[in-house]
């Protein structure tokens, strides 16, 4: 790990609602203080996590959090549904969590989205903390207040903008992260370089392959957090008519469609985003916005982290197209895509013809 702990950041979303992203040396110490703050004062505290993390971080759960009521779900996107959400609501009600209590989401993006939405909706809102334990969650999903669950019709179609009290990042938690999950997080790291930081993208190209103990990792995580915090501050609820927070969805319109059509859980979210970024790059190239050589640079960097750049099994192009039409970014029946003018310069557009989309999907292996 980097010798120097990164400086904290603040997500500026308005007076009284801004919150910090804290880079902590020991998440155990921070959680101990939260337990004292909420349990000793009888405000109530609940942890939501997944089964894999409960095993991987057994000492944390068996020691620091042993007295804290904990709701554990199966790992993976399939848990982000109405049934699990209802079970969490019942759990919070049964332990009589009150509005001065708090929920701690300890896990990856699925846990953060699910626990965050439960906190946003239970008693019309309780405090919650994000403790991301995956690279993807550290650089992306834990920041910005997007919470929600999936429906059969599409991903994240039900949810709320609800910001945590704090985001607590301890990069040592990544040491127990499976290699595939770390690589999935690198898809989001690479995304930040593509959407607005050409210097970051070039830095990633020049560096040796990152890993949980790489000395540059912490500073790169902070840079990604800084980019997202700035975007969220300018466009909290993704209402900008062009650009804004929608830029964070580079590769996601394609990626969410892949997850939906293939079945949630077949691809890790970052894997689907990786393929989606290749499709978005191909689309941008077909439209004449970026050269073929830039598509090659993107593909090479994704492959460095063993990320898929095409579908493992063919999917129907028309089904994928229909899934994209169910995306949250559809406005007045028109799908808005994030495209690239060049590496590090992205923009939103609805001016993509169907034949371009179908060709982009065919290039990644759709039929």
Domains of the chain (ranges; CATH) run: 9-176 (3.40.50.1970), 179-363 (1.20.1090.10)
Concerning whether 354 is annotated as a catalytic residue, the answer is no
Concerning whether 228 is annotated as a catalytic residue, the answer is yes
Whose tokens are 């995304």? That residue is 191
d(Cα 187, Cα 274) in Å, to the nearest integer?
6
Concerning whether 256 is annotated as a catalytic residue, the answer is yes
DSSP string computed for 268-308: -HHHHHHHHHHHHHHHHHHTTSS-HHHHHHHHHHHHHTT--
Q: Calculate the alpha carbon distances from 65 to 29, 69, 101, 263 in Å.
A: 11, 8, 15, 34
Concerning whether 146 is annotated as a catalytic residue, the answer is yes
Concerning whether 249 is annotated as a catalytic residue, the answer is yes
Concerning whether 245 is annotated as a catalytic residue, the answer is yes
Please provide the distance, in angstroms rounded to a whole number, between the alpha carbons at the two ends of the chain. 44
Residue 330 half-sphere exposure toward CB, CA atoms < 13 A: 16
Catalytic hit among 22, 80, 84, 269: 269
In the DSSP assignment, the letter for residue 76 is S
Q: Calculate the alpha carbon distances from 1 to 52, 208, 213, 221 in Å.
A: 23, 14, 5, 12
What is the enclosing helix (H) or strand (E) of 49? strand 45-50
pTM (global) more than 0.85: yes
Q: For residue 344, what are the contacts with CB-CB under 8 A and spacing of at least 6?
A: 193, 194, 195, 196, 197, 198, 199, 200, 201
Q: What is the pLDDT tens value at each position of the chain, 367 positions in all? A: 345 789 999 999 877 789 999 999 999 999 999 999 998 777 899 999 999 999 999 999 999 999 999 999 999 989 999 999 999 999 999 999 999 999 999 999 999 999 999 999 999 999 999 999 999 999 999 999 999 999 988 888 999 999 999 999 999 999 999 999 999 999 999 999 999 999 999 999 999 999 999 999 999 999 999 999 999 999 998 888 778 899 999 999 999 999 999 998 899 999 999 999 999 999 999 999 999 999 999 999 999 999 999 999 999 999 999 999 887 667 767 888 999 999 999 999 999 999 999 999 999 999 9
Nearest C-alpha neighbor of 49 from the set 71, 80, 34: 71
**Assigned token pair, 343:** 């590496």
Catalytic hit among 245, 282, 317, 329: 245
Nearest C-alpha neighbor of 104 from the set 5, 33, 206, 201: 33
d(Cα 25, Cα 278) in Å, to the nearest integer?
36
Concerning whether 30 is annotated as a catalytic residue, the answer is no
d(Cα 237, Cα 255) in Å, to the nearest integer?
21
**37-42 own/partner pairs: CB under 8 Å, 24+ apart:** 38/101, 38/102, 39/67, 39/68
Catalytic hit among 223, 256, 317, 328: 256
Local structure of 245: helix, strand or coil = helix
- Quick check: 27 and 129 in contact, CB under 8 A? no
């Amino acid at each position: 790990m980097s010798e120097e702990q990164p400086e904290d950041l603040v997500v500026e979303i308005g007076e009284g609602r801004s919150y910090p992203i804290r880079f902590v040396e020991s998440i155990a110490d921070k959680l101990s203080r939260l337990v004292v703050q909420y349990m000793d004062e009888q405000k109530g505290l609940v942890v939501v996590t997944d089964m894999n993390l409960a095993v991987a971080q057994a000492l944390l759960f068996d020691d620091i959090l042993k007295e804290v009521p904990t709701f554990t779900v199966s790992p993976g996107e399939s848990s982000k549904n109405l049934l699990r959400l209802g079970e969490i609501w019942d759990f919070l009600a049964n332990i009589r969590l009150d509005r001065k209590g708090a929920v701690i989401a300890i896990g990856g993006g699925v846990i953060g989205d699910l626990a965050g939405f439960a906190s946003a909706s239970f008693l019309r809102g309780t405090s919650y903390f994000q403790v991301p334990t995956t690279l993807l969650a550290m650089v992306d999903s834990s920041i910005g207040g997007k919470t929600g669950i999936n429906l059969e019709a599409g991903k994240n179609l039900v949810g709320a903008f609800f910001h945590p009290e704090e985001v607590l990042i301890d990069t040592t938690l990544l040491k127990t992260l499976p290699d595939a999950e770390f690589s999935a997080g690198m898809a989001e790291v690479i995304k930040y370089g593509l959407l607005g930081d050409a210097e970051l993208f070039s830095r990633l190209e020049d560096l040796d392959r990152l890993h949980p103990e790489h000395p540059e990792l912490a500073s790169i995580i902070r840079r990604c957090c800084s980019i997202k915090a700035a975007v969220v501050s300018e466009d909290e609820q993704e209402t900008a008519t062009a650009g804004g927070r929608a830029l964070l969805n580079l590769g996601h319109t394609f990626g969410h469609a892949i997850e939906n059509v293939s079945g949630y859980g077949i691809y890790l979210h970052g894997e689907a985003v990786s393929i989606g970024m290749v499709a978005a790059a191909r689309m941008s190239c077909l439209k004449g916005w970026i050269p073929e050589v830039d598509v090659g640079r993107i593909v090479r960097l994704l492959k460095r982290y063993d990320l898929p750049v095409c579908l493992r099994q063919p999917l129907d192009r028309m089904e994928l197209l229909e899934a994209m039409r169910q995306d949250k970014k559809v406005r007045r029946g028109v799908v808005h895509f994030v495209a690239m003018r060049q590496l590090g310069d992205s923009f939103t557009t609805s001016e993509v013809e169907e034949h371009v989309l179908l060709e982009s999907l065919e290039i990644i292996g759709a039929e």
